[in-house]
Amino acid sequence: MTKTERKVRIGMVGGGPGAGIAESHRIGMRIDDRFALVAGVFSRSPENSRKTADRLGVAPERSYASFEEMASAEAARADGIEVVTIVTPTDSHFPIAKAFLQAGIHVVCEKPLTDNLDHAVELDRLARDRGLILALTHNYSGYAMVRHAAALVRDGGIGSVRIVQVEHASGWAAGPVEGRWAGWRTDPAVAGKAGVVFDLGTHAHHLLRFVTGLEVAEVSAELATCVEDREVFDDAHVQLRLTNGARGQLWASMAATGQEHGLRIRVFGSEASLEWRHEDPHHLVVRHHGGPVEVLAQGHAGLS
Amino acid sequence: MTKTERKVRIGMVGGGPGAGIAESHRIGMRIDDRFALVAGVFSRSPENSRKTADRLGVAPERSYASFEEMASAEAARADGIEVVTIVTPTDSHFPIAKAFLQAGIHVVCEKPLTDNLDHAVELDRLARDRGLILALTHNYSGYAMVRHAAALVRDGGIGSVRIVQVEHASGWAAGPVEGRWAGWRTDPAVAGKAGVVFDLGTHAHHLLRFVTGLEVAEVSAELATCVEDREVFDDAHVQLRLTNGARGQLWASMAATGQEHGLRIRVFGSEASLEWRHEDPHHLVVRHHGGPVEVLAQGHAGLS
Amino acid sequence: MTKTERKVRIGMVGGGPGAGIAESHRIGMRIDDRFALVAGVFSRSPENSRKTADRLGVAPERSYASFEEMASAEAARADGIEVVTIVTPTDSHFPIAKAFLQAGIHVVCEKPLTDNLDHAVELDRLARDRGLILALTHNYSGYAMVRHAAALVRDGGIGSVRIVQVEHASGWAAGPVEGRWAGWRTDPAVAGKAGVVFDLGTHAHHLLRFVTGLEVAEVSAELATCVEDREVFDDAHVQLRLTNGARGQLWASMAATGQEHGLRIRVFGSEASLEWRHEDPHHLVVRHHGGPVEVLAQGHAGLS
Amino acid sequence: MTKTERKVRIGMVGGGPGAGIAESHRIGMRIDDRFALVAGVFSRSPENSRKTADRLGVAPERSYASFEEMASAEAARADGIEVVTIVTPTDSHFPIAKAFLQAGIHVVCEKPLTDNLDHAVELDRLARDRGLILALTHNYSGYAMVRHAAALVRDGGIGSVRIVQVEHASGWAAGPVEGRWAGWRTDPAVAGKAGVVFDLGTHAHHLLRFVTGLEVAEVSAELATCVEDREVFDDAHVQLRLTNGARGQLWASMAATGQEHGLRIRVFGSEASLEWRHEDPHHLVVRHHGGPVEVLAQGHAGLS
């Protein structure tokens, strides 16, 4: 069996009952068919963790009571995990990622990496020093049409980038969600005081970088809290200056009442502009200066 | 391990290199996480079949040279397959499905079941007589919003059904495709002379039945061949009278130049109408008489 | 003053209080700025007609009691009307149009011309014999993008026409409208038993002819009445064979619950297809075989 | 004839050959059918002005050589104009408007009123002191669905306003337009150095005020010039704080490559949000928190 054919041994931290993102990770792994989930800490309760392990086909002895134990035990096994995926709330990303990187294990971590720049830099340095992968699941860049958008920009298909409008504005927390499903996302102690900047803004920021190939050079931001008694910022408007001198706006909101997922990007170049919306992910609109609007679609239409 | 927790043992007939639909079946099985693919005839060439088996993790001794051999061998094993999925071209569905049903194995078959009513009836009778499942992959009814549409109609949400417009009109074969990718779909000996009626019309017909809960009572059809030198019908317009007296149109085409997948349905009732389009599958539009148009979206918008 | 600069003297039959279509005609004339409305029979009641004449600035002596009087009086005046526009219900079109044509006056008539082929032929012959214009207000062909669609087809921009889908399916009469606003449109004595075929089907038929340049050669139609106690057909599905051998469907309905105006056309050629929808009249979608989808927009974007 | 029935006597300054906006004013007046255009200075060249007057049916003696002459002569006539509409480039609005207000004549002026706050305040004071109307043609608030949006907000239909996103981002000047059609719009001496802020930003600002009923309390703006050698700002991103504490963004651009007219607004309240786009002006989308998305349409669907 060649190396690229055998499955990658992966572990998971987080992902007990009701954990939506963990389930997305697991479905994604199955679609790719390149990963074998063989270890985990699926809950703070060892009993719940064991139950989830059973359900997922993870051997009982590899259902650990803590991530520290998991990192050292797996690092010691000949058939130990090669990579761990971290699907816990934000505040625990740093210690968990650090433990696995120190144990020589690659890390896939949910966004945001940390709510603290120093911690992020430390993890990045740790990974680089040891030649390990430290990956964040900015998954929207996986869409074919987002990749095509990025290729178009790189290939000069829209000319030089002048203006970028990116937003991730969802209505999921337009009412009180505290103490309910995913309520930790508005708990400053867990999700960070900046709230929506970490929660959704990171996706918008990543999408901008991925599609344009540019970095944000300067920002001027207006953070606000729309929902009464909320303790994190749930709305952020950010003016951007990009590294090539282009200007832009990033809007991240969890209080955009009535919006669905709300991720979209528009990039305006000197020759054309492009628009991608997550609600219609398999199309990319390209508008040529003085010319037609093209709607590009993913793949061919033959299968039925 | 409870019965609902262990995986269903499944085999596959068809699905060698380049077989798009087979790959869809396999991805679907992995997403569901309820099936173990343990046997197959993946190609007419035993060598190619073995290679695919290797890649899929199917044991060499369960990579068979023929479906007949597979049906009898698997039926004889204590751990034999419980169900087979048939992903071959149309003309072979009947003998393959018959062999597995006769061997007491449930069958999932790609649409159309056969290109011949007698054969279809025989398979249906065989399955019923033995208490076996004979399922067709009319997969579009799996979309949440299609299911919601069906529920709305059943619950009286649109009043009594008066008019149905359904179409599956793709541009995949608007030019010559014969002798190329999926070229068998326009070969009358393989796909049936009725061509598009089997190929796409079946999906439209099923969608109509699934959403409305009605059957087609009478038809008046106009079959045509748009592309020169084609030997099957590639365009079909059908007037419909449904069992409740409602009227409708079904349009199936593989020559609808420039269209993508092209599956959509509109149902008009006495109180409201609904519209679903496969190009935007996660939304359902409901238009109330004298009232607003509602766009219903699948699920909540919380995950990101 | 040159001939093309002076205004055309026009009269109107119909168009008293509450007459929506007449108001559309009058607004259209003012936008064009090429017509002077100088005579009329605006109501069956001479008093109501006079009031409307006053409001419209028509001289009292040219507010007539009957169309017969109007035709002869205006024909006799040196400054008599050159053209009359007929905005009455369907059943009166024939005698009115006939009277004006016989008086040597050009006629603009609301659709449908008549509910009777013999009458239509007679009017057509009358106009031709006298060198007069007999125009129907199939106004949708006035949209720039409809004209562009027709030009594209003529210029070979979509190859040879293969399939046409045209519909004018509105929800305006999906419930009982009899005895209410525009209730005459479902009165068989006034609107004709074929109802929706005349009312909306004529627009769809004209749009098909205008855009494709083809004529309908053969039809197979299914007429139905959806709304209880209605005395005209309110739903019509028509299979079409066009003069070049292309196939198509025409759907006309006044019972398409929840739909707005509902006029749209799709034309599929051997090289590309095009789509125009009245709800988005300033855009035309062109889908190229194997190539991109283009959205063409009317005019430039400079004015603001 | 009652006062409301006779037509308002109006004059025009500007609007010679090729003047698009003037033609829009004239078409609008004819649609309304409430104005009689009886005087004007249609060009700086008296000869061109006279020709346009002839074409428009304005008496030669009321085709003036200068606005000053027109203001005094019309003010002196018993049948003089009651109102003037000013459709000249921006830099001349102030002296023209001032002259007519001082002559006791109401003023309709193209936006922006002036490129200078002091001048605007002076005109406003002049109009108030004399009880005259000083109106700007922020015409987009005339759309039925914009008016409905404003009514919805006033009536509490979306709860309290939290976030406003408004943009008027057109691609009309994404390439060099200097010295061509409407080139004055990028000439700082005529249009003002702030360029797009006056040209399109004013519409966005007005739309925000009209729909929300709120005023802008504080701004933080980023003005940029995207097109080489341009002498005005052609792109403006503005962070907004509104009088009720709501936050927002206003984006005005004439360099939004490939965009059509580009005017749109989204208002997010505590209970629902609404969206209106000028490219689809007859619909208004209302998204309810936790509930459905409604698409409201203008008027009924009965006429055809």
Residues in CB range of D298: below 8 A, 6 or more apart: D144, D145, D282, D283
Subunits in contact with chain C (3 or more CB pairs closer than 8 Å):
A, B, D
The answer to whether A297 contacts C295, with C-beta atoms less than 8 Å apart, is no
- pLDDT score of D182: 79
Highest mean pLDDT among A3-12, B185-194, C89-98: C89-98
Cβ neighbours of B2 (radius 10 Å): 5
The pLDDT, as a whole number, for residue A2 is 46
- pLDDT confidence bin for A303, thresholds 50/70/90: very low
Percent of chain C residues past pLDDT 70, beyond the cut? 97
Point out which residues pair with C166 in neighbouring strands.
C250, C265
Instruction: Spell out the residues 6+ positions from residue A76 whose beta carbon is closer than 8 angstroms to its own.
Output: none
Segment among A45-49, A67-71, C235-239, D136-140 with least mean pLDDT:
A45-49
CB contact under 8 A, A257 and D165: no
pLDDT value of position A182: 79
pLDDT for residue C290 is more than 70 = yes
pLDDT band at D304 (very low <50, low <70, confident <90, very high): very low
From chain D, the residues in CB contact with C172 under 8 A are 300-302, 304
Please state the rounded mean pLDDT for residues C256-267: 96
The first and second tokens of residue B183, run together, are 């070229």
pLDDT, residue A4, reads: 43
- Residue C2: pLDDT over 50: no
Q: Encoding tokens for residue D263?
A: 């005017």
Neighbours of chain B (3+ CB pairs under 8 A): A, C, D
For CA atoms D252, D254, D258, D262, give the dihedral sign. Answer: positive
What is the rounded average pLDDT of the residues B197-219?
97
Q: Which of A222, A249, A268 sits opposite D257 (nearest CB)?
A: A268
Tell me whether residues D260 and C55 touch, CB distance under 8 A.
no
**How far off is chain B from A246, nearest CA to CA, in Å?**
27
- Say if residues C109 and C89 touch (Cβ distance below 8 Å): no
Count Cβ–Cβ pairs < 8 Å, chain A vs chain D: 116
pLDDT value of position B5: 55
Q: How far is A141 from chain C (nearest CA, A)?
A: 22
Edge-to-edge strand list for the sheet holding C83-86: C35-41, C8-13, C83-86, C106-109, C134-136
Partners of B271 in beta bridges: none
The identity of residue A77, as a single letter, is R
Q: Which of B64, B16, B72, B24 is nearest to B42 (CA)?
A: B16
Q: What local confidence, expressed as pLDDT, does residue C183 receive? A: 83
Contact B289, C175 (CB under 8 A): yes
* Interface touch B172/A301, C-beta < 8 Å: yes
Amino acid identity of B218?
Answer: E
Residue D2 has pLDDT above 50, yes or no: no
| Overall average pLDDT of the A140-163 stretch | 97
Confidence (pLDDT) at C6: 84
Chain B residue at shortest CA distance from A28: B31
> Is the predicted pLDDT of residue A99 greater than 50, yes or no?
yes
Distances (CA, A) of A140 to A34, A276, D239: 20, 11, 27
User: Which residue of C lies nearest to D296 if distances are taken between CA atoms?
Assistant: C260
**Among C304, D297, D207, CA closest to B288:** D297
User: How much is the pLDDT for D299?
Assistant: 74
**D209 φ, ψ (degrees, to nearest 5):** -65, -40
Q: What pLDDT is stored for residue A262 in this prediction?
A: 95
User: Taking residues A60-81, what's their average pLDDT?
Assistant: 97
pLDDT of C3 higher than 80 = no
**Residue B29: closest CA among D9, A31, A82, C69:** A31
| Count of alpha carbons within 13 angstroms of residue C214, beta-carbon side | 22
Q: Mean pLDDT throughout B256-284?
A: 96
Residues of chain C contacting A, Cβ within 8 Å: 292-297
pLDDT at B3 over 90: no
Do the chains contact at B304 and A261, CB–CB below 8 Å?
yes
Mean local confidence (pLDDT), B42-64:
93
Contacts D260 to C, Cβ<8 Å: 297, 301
Check residue D5 and give its pLDDT. 55
Give A213 to chain D, closest Cα distance, Å.
19
For residue B82, what are the contacts with CB-CB under 8 A and spacing of at least 6?
B8, B9, B10, B105, B106
Picking from A293, A298, A300 by the largest number of C CB atoms within 10 A of its own CB, the best residue to mutate is A293
A112-126, A241-255, B46-60, D194-208: least confidently modelled range: B46-60
Judge: B293–D294 Cβ closer than 8 Å, yes or no: yes
pLDDT digits (tens, 9 = 90+) for B125-169: 999 999 999 999 999 999 999 999 999 999 999 999 999 999 999
User: Is C293–A297 a contact, with Cβ atoms under 8 angstroms apart?
Assistant: yes
Report d(CA B263, CA B265) in Å as an integer. 7
Number of CB pairs, chain B paired with chain C, less than 8 A apart: 115
pLDDT in tens, C116-132: 999 999 999 999 999 99
| Residues in chain C within 8 Å Cβ distance of A292 | 294-296
Nearest CA in chain C to D263: C304
| ipTM for the assembly | 0.94
pLDDT at A18: 75
Neighbours of chain A (3+ CB pairs under 8 A): B, C, D
- Quick one: pLDDT at residue A5? 55
CB A88 within 8 A of CB A104: no
- Tell whether omega for the bond before B281 is within 30 degrees of 0, i.e. cis: no
Which residues on A lie below 8 Å from B20 (Cβ)?
A: 302-303
Average pLDDT rounded to a whole number, residues A35-46: 94
| Mutate: best of B285, B289, B295, partner D, most D CBs <10 A | B295
- Residues β-bridged to residue D218: D241
C284 contacts in chain A (CB < 8 Å): none
Note if the pTM is more than 0.90. yes
Q: What is the C-alpha to C-alpha distance for residues A12 and A67, in angstroms, rounded to an integer?
A: 9
**Which of C21, C280, C303 is the closest to D21 by Cβ?**
C303
- Answer whether residue B32 shows pLDDT above 60: yes
Write down the pLDDT at residue B302. Answer: 40
HEC per residue, chain C: CCCCCCCEEEEEECCCCCCHHHHHHHHHHHHHCCEEEEEEECCCCHHHHHHHHHHHCCCHHHECCCHHHHHHHHHHCCCCCCEEEECCCHHHHHHHHHHHHHCCCEEEECCCCCCCHHHHHHHHHHHHHHCCCEEECCHHHHCHHHHHHHHHHHCCCCCCEEEEEEEEECCCCCCCCCCCCCHHHHCHHHHCCCCHHHHHHHHHHHHHHHHHCCCEEEEEEEEECCCCCCCCCCEEEEEEEECCCCEEEEEEECCCCCCCCCEEEEEEECCEEEEEECCCCCEEEEEECCCCEEEEECCCCCCC
The neighbouring-strand residues paired with C168 are C252, C263
Does the pLDDT at position A301 exceed 70? no
Would you tell me how many other CB atoms lie within 10 Å of the CB of residue C34? 13
Host H or E run for residue A223: strand A216-224
Reported as a single tens digit per residue, the pLDDT across D165-179 is: 999 999 999 999 988
> Which chains border D (3 or more CB–CB pairs < 8 Å)?
A, B, C
Q: What is the pLDDT of residue D206?
A: 98
Of C239, C251, C268, the CB nearest to B222: C239
- Do the strands B216-224 and D161-169 form a parallel or antiparallel pair, or are they unpaired? unpaired
* C-alpha span between B73 and B71 (Å, rounded): 6
Chain A residues in contact with B170 by the CB 8 A cut-off are 301-302, 304
CB-based contact B297 A172, cutoff 8 Å? no
Amino acid, res. B122: E
For A295, the closest chain C residue by CA position comes to C293
Q: What is the pLDDT of residue C302?
A: 40
Plot region of D220 (φ>0 → left; ψ -120 to 50 → alpha; else → beta)? beta
Residue D171 with chain A: CB contacts under 8 Å: 273, 287, 289
Using one digit for the tens of pLDDT, what is the confidence trace for C43-86?
A: 988 899 999 999 999 999 999 999 999 999 999 999 999 999 99
Put simply, the answer to whether D297 touches B295 (Cβ < 8 Å) is no
Average the pLDDT over A50-75 and give the result: 95
Question: Chain D contacts of B297, Cβ < 8 Å?
Answer: 293
Residue D300 has pLDDT above 90, yes or no: no
Which pLDDT tens digit goes with each residue over B66-82? Answer: 999 999 999 999 999 99
The mean predicted confidence, pLDDT, of chain C is: 94
Name the pairing type of β-strands C161-169 and B216-224: unpaired
What is the sign, positive or negative, of the torsion defined by CA atoms of A31, A37, A41, A43? positive
pLDDT tens for D44-86 read 888 999 999 999 999 999 999 999 999 999 999 999 999 999 9
pLDDT of amino acid D49: 92
| pLDDT confidence band for B182 (50 / 70 / 90) | confident
Closest CA of chain B from C64, distance in Å = 39
Residue with token string 């702030």:
D194
Range of weakest confidence among A5-14, B266-275, C107-116, D203-212:
A5-14
Tell me the percentage of chain D whose pLDDT exceeds 70: 97
Beta bridge pairs of residue A168: A252, A263
> How far apart are the C-alpha atoms of B103 and B130, rounded to whole Å?
10
Residues recorded for chain A = 304
Q: How confident is the model over D94-119, as pLDDT tens digits?
A: 999 999 999 999 999 999 999 999 99
Q: Which residues of chain D are at the A interface, by a Cβ-Cβ cutoff of 8 Å?
A: 158-159, 162-163, 165, 171, 174-175, 220, 222, 224, 226, 235, 237, 239, 241, 247-249, 251, 253, 255-259, 268-273, 286-291, 293
CA count, 13 A, side-chain hemisphere, C279: 17
